[in-house]
Amino acid sequence: MRLVLLLPGILLPLLLASAPANAIKKVPYPEIAVRGLPVFKGDPGLDELRKRLTAAVAAKDANAAAALAAPSFEWTAGGVPVDEFDPKRDAVHNFKVAFGFRPAGKDADGPTEVGPQWELLNYFATDETLTQEANSTLVCGSTAARVTDEAALEDALQRIDEPDDLSEWVYSLGEIALTAAPDGGAPVAKVKSVAMPIVAVHPAPSGDAAPAPTHFELLLPSGKSGWTPIQGLRPLFIDRMCFAKVGNEWKIAVYDQAE
């Protein structure tokens, strides 16, 4: 199962701190171009919904948070309903199971393996990255870009992934420079609007108290690699929350997990 990178800039460095170096094959792969998604211009009604979600998180009020879900709330992974999603149950039930307030198949709230996902909900409520694709009724965070060629991505994953070590990818819509070492060194390449897999992190994990990474070593399509600071990078595989209008009221419409 792929490591889910939930919070760019927050959990991204922490989750990768213990990721093994060289967990992918350092071979050439097709370039994975990404395109930026249209930024959502904003709406007072959506702002109000997200304020209510923030307040529910602050009060740790699961009922108040679940009440913000649309009657047609969907819980998916890569656009496909997850096994735990029960279309016969109401939105409140599925929302609570999705965010760790209720065990799957149970009628009451209680302990779950993932526990209440308050930090994740707060991130969705406050993340400034909201986009809306053309002809879509959904406003989603925190995906800022989309791969332009899914077939090329699948090809690349088959080439570089190890059976038990799936690659993690990041991208930047702005230009980034890769160098031979974390502290600089000879220039390796400059890239823009492409996604690349992570080879290693710096500082390297050591012991139980792993330091937060400051740089990633990224694999270029050529098969070469280089180092770049983590600032400005975003995870390609990331959970999303999407909002939509139900009548005149904004609701939480979809929770889409990274595959």
Q: Is residue 6 part of a domain?
A: no
> What is the residue whose two structure tokens read 């009060």?
59
Beta-carbon contacts of 44 under 8 Å, excluding residues fewer than 6 positions away, are none
Same domain, residue pair 70 and 177: no
Q: What are the structure tokens assigned to 154, written together?
A: 């699948």
Q: What digits encode the pLDDT tens for the residues 183-226?
A: 889 999 999 999 999 999 998 877 666 678 899 999 999 999 99
Same domain, residue pair 139 and 243: yes
User: Which range of residues forms the domain containing residue 173?
Assistant: 11-38+146-235
Q: What digits encode the pLDDT tens for the residues 107-145?
A: 999 999 999 999 999 999 999 889 999 899 999 998 889
CA distance 72 to 137: 14
Per the structure, how many domains does the chain have? 2
CB 6 within 8 A of CB 256: no
pLDDT for residue 208: 64
- Average pLDDT, stretch 51-69? 98
pLDDT for residue 258: 84
Same domain, residue pair 50 and 153: no
pLDDT for residue 211: 76
Q: In this model, does residue 20 exceed pLDDT 90?
A: no
Same domain, residue pair 137 and 253: yes
Residue 28 Cα distances to 25, 61, 143, 157, 219, angstroms: 9, 49, 26, 11, 9
Give me the CATH number covering residue 103. 3.10.450
Q: In this model, does residue 162 exceed pLDDT 90?
A: no
| Beta strand ranges found along 91-247 (DSSP E) | 139-141, 145-147, 169-172, 176-181, 184-191, 194-202, 215-219, 225-229, 234-235, 240-246
Write phi, then psi, for 94 (nearest 5 degrees): -65, -35
State the virtual CA torsion across 129, 182, 160, 196 in degrees, nearest 10.
Answer: 30
Same domain, residue pair 215 and 245: no
Q: Is residue 221 part of a domain?
A: yes
